[in-house]
Amino acid sequence: MELPARMRRGEMLLVAGPCSAESRGQVLRTAEALSDIGVGVLRAGLWKPRTHPDTFQGVGVEGLSWLTEARRKTGMLIATEVATPDHLLAALDARVDVVWLGARTVANPFAVQALADILAAREGELPTVLVKNPISPDVELWIGALQRLWNAGVRRLAAVHRGFVSGHSAPLRNAPQWEVAIALRCECPELPMLCDPSHIAGDCALVADIAQEALDMGFDGLMIESHIAPEHALSDASQQLTPEQLGTLLSGLRPRRKGDASEELNLFRRQVDDCDRELLETLARRMEVVERIGRIKRRDGIAVVQPDRFKQVLARQLELAAALGLDADFVARVYALVHDQAAKRQLGDEQNDL
């Protein structure tokens, strides 16, 4: 999938700019400073999906002329969020190069379809469309939104991972739950994926580490919030970097090559494949023994679930895990699944016999 060349900065894709467009001066000054550090696509929200109605809601359509002026003066492409048909029609009229669908919009298939319908009916070139993840960790909902846009004829399409609303994300604002992004990557390997470390972090001091983690994981690029004077920002002040800070962050990043795996890597991959086979063979053997135990319990009238026995097994395995350098939480979760499956196998055996 070909994205605009201006989105590329060195090895990666990059979109940066303020959370919100606030004034003509703020947009132009931020754009110029970002252009100087090699940012090719300027983002700025015009319509802001704020939680509370008494906070800054965005400048709306008025800010479009600031963005187009910034594009004229710097040669950058411009990007903004669209959530309703009115937003999209205004952005199309201004020939906005990149539009993104925000996390709250992607959570609503009716809203996504309404936007897709407008794009499907549009003659001529369509903008690049970025689709953020929905606020809940539901990969199918994310894929569904991407499909609606693909079906509408959008071919310059990319996903943006911005983390998920969760009660357990501290110190981050949104929980990364990387596994959801990895599931999307496995499902749609051709789809370019950006990470938005600003909304995951919620704190400018944490943005760089998340950005690096995303590149280490194989993301194709980043969307980062940057404001000429973050302390005066009208939205998301705590997570925005100055263009100078962004320049420092970018020069400190270590991009990762896609490329073919080396012989050395393949050697270790074969070892992992062997471990995986042994793991499943051991699990299968364990389940066979469990079924025998199930038959004995039934013969002797003993309940399938024996909490004390499970506690003992778990305590012993956690001790072993510590000695082997395995994470306790990980091992506890694996054992909860193994125990659950073992109980099902014992019950299943019983039902099969009936």
Identify the CA nearest to 72 among candidates 95, 38, 48: 95
Peptide bond into 307 cis (omega under 30): no
| Total residues interacting with ligand PEP, rule: CB under 6 A | 9
| CA separation for the pair 202, 18 (Å, rounded) | 14
15 binds Mn ion (CB under 5 A): no
Q: Which does 49 bind (CB under 5 to 8 A by kind): Mn ion, ligand PEP, none?
A: ligand PEP
- Report in angstroms how near the CB of residue 65 gets to ligand PEP at its nearest: 20
| CA separation for the pair 86, 88 (Å, rounded) | 5
The 67-106 contact track toward ligand PEP, x by CB under 6 A, reads -----------------------------------xxx--
Q: In the chain, what is the greatest distance between 2 CA atoms, to the nearest angstrom? A: 84
- According to CB under 6 A, which one of 25, 38, 49, 348 is a site residue for ligand PEP? 49
- According to CB under 5 A, which one of 19, 34, 126, 131 is a site residue for Mn ion? 19
- According to CB under 6 A, which one of 199, 211, 224, 290 is a site residue for ligand PEP? 199
Task: Give the CB-side neighbour count of residue 276, counting CA atoms within 13 A.
Answer: 6
236 binds Mn ion (CB under 5 A): yes
The 224-263 contact track toward ligand PEP, x by CB under 6 A, reads ----------------------------------------
DSSP of 188-238? -TTS-EEE-HHHHH-SGGGHHHHHHHHHHHT--EEEEEB-SSGGG-SS-GG
| CA separation for the pair 206, 218 (Å, rounded) | 19
**Contact positions vs Mn ion (CB under 5 A):** 19, 236
The footprint of ligand PEP (CB under 6 A) covers 19, 45, 49, 102-104, 132, 162, 199
